[in-house]
Amino acid sequence: MLRIWRTVERTRPYARGFALSVFGVLNFVCATHLFVQHVGWIHSMSGPSMLPTLGVQGEWVIESRVVDPHKLSRGDLVIYASPIDPNRLVCKRILGLPGDTVCVDPTGIRAPSTEHVIVPKGHFWMIGDNAEFSRDSRFYGPVSMGLVAGKLVARVWPLRSFTVFRSNFENID
């Protein structure tokens, strides 16, 4: 019995160090999860729908999740859950705010360019910068503010294309 007790006493400092290491790793994982879910993250972008603002592939952007959807404005780039496939995040530009009257399809490809809709309360009208290759509000209608996950802040990769995103819309009365 004494021999077992001595063995336990010798291994206790190692066990304590191991436990502290495991606790440190768990703490880091939890902090990272909270940061990603509530503050922001870096995303890889792909797809032609946002050309020329974003490339087809290989660009990395910073997303801020500290966003009040009621404070977003026309021209902001946002990431939201696709109304077609909720497991997929998409990036589009806000074209219309609640109460705005917007042209359903300014290109005339999906609907006559004379067709207009009023964006309902609690929704946005989204559009891709490359309308020909974009599946956006022209296909699935207004997007609920509840689907918005965050706002794009900047493109950080490739470094030569570093850009801080700002709204590029001007109100025309």
DSSP the chain: -HHHHHHHHHHHHHHHHHHHHHHHHHHHHHHHHHHHHHTEEEEEEE-GGGTTTS-SEEEEEEEE----GGG--TT-EEEEE-SS-TTSEEEEEEEE-TT-EEES-TTSSSS-TT-EEEPPTTEEEEE-SSGGG--SHHHH--EEGGGEEEEEEEEEESGGG-EE---------
pLDDT for 92 equals 92
State what percent of residues in the chain have pLDDT above 70. 82
Answer whether residue 11 shows pLDDT above 90: no
The average confidence (pLDDT) of the chain is: 80
For the chain, the structural domain boundaries read 1-38, 41-164
Which residue in the list 44, 46, 49, 113 is annotated as catalytic?
49
pLDDT at 173: 53
List the catalytic residue out of 92, 134, 137, 151. Answer: 92
- pTM for the structure as a whole: 0.74
144 is catalytic: no
Catalytic residue check, 92 = yes
Q: In the CATH scheme, what is the code of domain 41-164? A: 2.10.109.10
